[in-house]
Each structure stands twice: as structure tokens, then as C-alpha cells.
Structure 1
């Protein structure tokens, strides 16, 4: 993990070895599920059990963590209603996994939006959607996605940009000294540290880990011990951060490979179409030429 913390995002997306991948959605579904922990790590219901008067029966009570919270299906439907155009499967498969995981986080009782989480999500989204055919569509998908979760996409972008601008003017030492300084971002980090220490509601998630890593990258904090110290200052479990960043790196690597193979496939098919069109164009040119030279025939 020490090596991971000294790498930039561009470095961790580089794949020195090309592995054979298929264009089936299954590999990406499995990979993103590993990263996002959909099946084992999240639940938006707490289950309580109490005994009834009869010892042979148990009454199971499902207590929703948020009153009147929408279902996962409703959130996904809201996204599809807001963005009706088809999305290539290489992007859509992971987006669907993302929105399920984020729905479960969004409606947990302990959930509270914070800018580091927003920075992490924006970083993941932008990396996922790199190379998307249309910048306009990429932004429209982002808007539809966040609004489907009943949150503000503009707030995500503004907060992510604010933290990025702050981190760019920091160095490894000043990054760790936020608790003794005054400022908007310093105040945000102090509040997170207090909540994570148990003085308020805080729910760690994997987007938060990516947000921390992005801060380190922009501050040129290549020493692996800086992440240890930052986690300690924020009262965050370092082992969880290490694990989540490692899996995130693997996800990005596989996405890069898949996008490269998809591009090769598209280029190859285009070349085949062009080659098939050449004889037809030649025949049309010959026919036109003969028609001009022999107008009476």
C-alpha cells in the first residue's frame, strides 16, 4: 500500500500488461461490486427481533433508517427519467452499480454530506467517464445521477473544486496542520475530525477515501506516512482507507484496459467499413465516367 500512496491518478490508471477482456458487462459488474461492496457491506434497514407471547413465533421488525426513504428502484428510475438517452454499456454498467451503492449510503441514518466525500465521488465519476463521446452528455448524466439521489449536483462540483484549489497550494506539512489554522476548508476538515471522533454522526465510505487521496495527490504528498498522519488527524481508520484505495486502483486499471480494447474494436470496424466501401466507390466512378464518355448508350 505504500507504493499506492506515492502514485498519481494518471499513474494508477496505466496498465503495463494488457489482459484479454470481453465486452460482456459481467466482468465490470463483478469488479465494481468488489469495490463498492454492494452485496455485503451496506444495508439501509436495521432489523430488530422481539419475542411474541408464543415461544414458537418471532416477530421481525424492519426499521427503516430514514423515514419515507425512496427505494433503490425508485432512485434508479429517477435517473433513467432524467437522462433518457442510451449510455454505452462499458459506462452504464458501472454507473448502475454506483447509484445503487450511493443510494444505500445516502439513506443511512448516519449519512451526512461533506465536501471530501463529494471530491471523492467527483474524482471517481470523472475518471470513469474519461473518453465519453460527448462532454455535454457527460455533464447531463452527472446532473441526472445526483438529482436522482435528491442532492445538488452543483454543490458537489463547487465543493470538489474548492478542495482541489485549496490542496494545490498546500504542501505535505501544511496539509496536516489544518487543525491549527483558520479557513473554510480547514473548518470543513476540523468538523469531519470531530464527527469521526464520535462527537457527531459520521459514516465512512469509499468515496471519502478517494477524496483523501486526491487531496494528497494535489498537495504533492508522495511520502506514504502522510496518509497515515492525515487519517490520524481526521480520526479515520487507515486500514479501511488502504483497502479501499487498493481496490479503486484495480477498478481503474480494468476500466482503462476495457476502454482501450473498445477503441481498438471501433477503429477496426471502421477500417473494415471503409475497405468495403472502396470497391463500391470505384464502380460508381467508372459508371459515371463511362456515362459521360458514351452519352448515347
Structure 2
């Protein structure tokens, strides 16, 4: 089905970059859909009509695309809420809502392609974030609803994460890096990533991918920074980006530990809402710091 978007237009621009800038300006105040506009304008527009606005002297451009536009963020969030209808404690719910927005933007990038290292990184972050959740059953149900809202397969995420974890435990620092000279299911996954990251296919680096690499190194007991450098080189990934993201990730883990200690103190002492609110604020602050450059 064709989609229609109304965008403000100040004049005819000359360059492609100027046209992109102009298209990002919305004539409506739709703050909640701002992400969707950014994504949609990357798709080709098959027909454009221009009319003068009755409210101002600006032109209004109607852009109609016959292609398959990505869903807006609001639709993904609604799918999650419809799939898991039980209340989620605010300490976790606020972070989950922010996280699903970030992952929505990653998922619908033109260069996005699912891979097992990305899945391992997300599963690692999710499990650490939700550690201590009151119910293991609910924690898994939330995971299922979350991934399905992004039109992906939660079983695939879990299976691929488990597969990489099992493989990494059997590796050492040398064998982990030397995947290109070996045969096997995980080795083939890593070779495919290296090929795509090297420019022979679609690859979109993210912080979840960096966390996935960190988890592989952790399980293989490969703690020497030189090993990370070799692994990044083998995968054709920028090590500076990975180092930066892992520093932020470690800081997140530290803040989450502090926040959960405050929550435990609240539960143990039952002294009202002050400690719970403090823990909730600490987790939200830590996660916002972590998610700003996902």
C-alpha cells in the first residue's frame, strides 16, 4: 500500500544533500513519529505533488512511495505492548521502551542485516538488564514480545547466542582469532561477517555487535587487548569504535550493579518508595548514557 507523508518545502534546492535536508523538515508537529520520517525519506519517492498551504506561504510536498516503507516506531512499541499485556515494573519498563526505540532504528536501516554476533550482544545486554526480574517466566515472555515486535525471531536470537557461547568456551586466544582458516558453523558465520564488513555486502556496526565480541572474548578467556585488536582486524571492524563502545558498556554494568543494590536495599528494608525511585533513576540514567550512540 502506498504511503503519504506531508513535508514542508521552502524552495527548490540544487544539490542532493540539500534536497535531503529539506525533506527532513516536517510541516506537522509529530514528535513521536520523527524517527519514522527520517527513515522513510531514505526510500525512493515514485511520485511528488506540490500544493500551496492555506495556512502559510510555504509549499507543501506530498510524497507518495509505492515501495515497502518501514513501520513507525509507535507501531513497533504498540506491537510489544499488545504481545505482553501484563504490567512491567517501572524500573524495567522505562529502559525497555527506550531500548526498543533504539533497536527499531537499527533494524530498519537500509544496511541492516541480522547476524549471530549482534544477537549474542543483544541477548547479553538483555539478560544483564533483566537479571533479578521477579519472574523468570515473565522475563522470557517479555523477551519474546520484544523481538517479535521488531519482526524477528526470538528463538533464533537465543539459539544463535547459545551456539556462539558454546563455541567460544571451547576456544582460546589463538583459535578465536584464527577462524578464517577453519571450517565449522560458527567459523562460517564469522567469515560472512568479515566479508560483509569488508565491503562485499550489507553490514551495519552497532554497540550490540561490540558487546557480542566482548562476550566471545570473555568466554574464551582471551583478556589480552591485543587479541581484541586481532579479532577486529580479522572481522574488518574498526577497533576504535569497539573500544569506545566497550568502555561505555562496562560503565553501564557498573551503574546497573549499583542500581540493583539500591533496589535490593529497598526490598529488604521496606522503607517506602525512596530507594526504589533512586534505583529506577540510576538504571534509567545508566541506560540513556549507554543507548545514546547505539
Give yes or no for TM over 0.5.
yes
Q: Which runs of 4+ in 1 moved over 4 A?
A: 45-48, 56-64
For residues 43-122 of structure 1, the aligned pairs below 5 Å read 44-46=39-41, 67-122=68-123
Separation in 2, partners of 1:250, 1:141: 25
Give yes or no for contact 2:40–2:70 (8 Å, CA) kept in 1: no
Q: What's the counterpart of residue 151 of structure 1?
A: 152
Separation in 2, partners of 1:62, 1:227: 46
Separation in 2, partners of 1:231, 1:60: 45
| Cα deviation code 1:137-171 (max 9, x no counterpart) | 00000000000001000000000000000000000
> For this pair of structures, how many residues does the alignment match?
229
Structure 1 residue runs without a partner (length 5+): 1-38, 272-297
Greater Cα radius of gyration, structure 1 or 2: 1
Q: 1:44 deviation in Å?
A: 2.7
Separation in 2, partners of 1:237, 1:197: 11
| Cα deviation code 1:110-163 (max 9, x no counterpart) | 110000000000000000010011000000000000000010000000000000
Q: Secondary structure at the match of 2:270?
A: helix
Q: What's the counterpart of residue 210 of structure 1?
A: 211
Structure 2 residue runs without a partner (length 5+): 1-33, 44-48, 51-56, 273-294
Judging changes above 3 Å, is the alpha-carbon distance between structure 1 residues 82 and 255 closer, same or farther for their aligned structure 2 residues? same
| Cα deviation code 1:255-292 (max 9, x no counterpart) | 22111111111221179xxxxxxxxxxxxxxxxxxxxx
Judging changes above 3 Å, is the alpha-carbon distance between structure 1 residues 74 and 181 closer, same or farther for their aligned structure 2 residues? same
Q: What's the counterpart of residue 180 of structure 1?
A: 181
Separation in 1, partners of 2:120, 2:94: 22
Q: What's the counterpart of residue 270 of structure 2?
A: 269
Q: What's the counterpart of residue 253 of structure 2?
A: 252
What TM-score does the superposition give when structure 2 sets the normalisation length? 0.71
Q: 1:207 deviation in Å?
A: 0.4
Q: 1:92 deviation in Å?
A: 1.2
What TM-score does the superposition give when structure 1 sets the normalisation length? 0.71
Q: Please report the RMSD computed on the Cα atoms of aligned residues, expressed in angstroms.
A: 2.9
Give yes or no for contact 1:128–1:255 (8 Å, CA) kept in 2: yes
Answering whether residue 228 of structure 2 is matched by residue 233 of structure 1, we say no
Give yes or no for contact 1:166–1:185 (8 Å, CA) kept in 2: yes
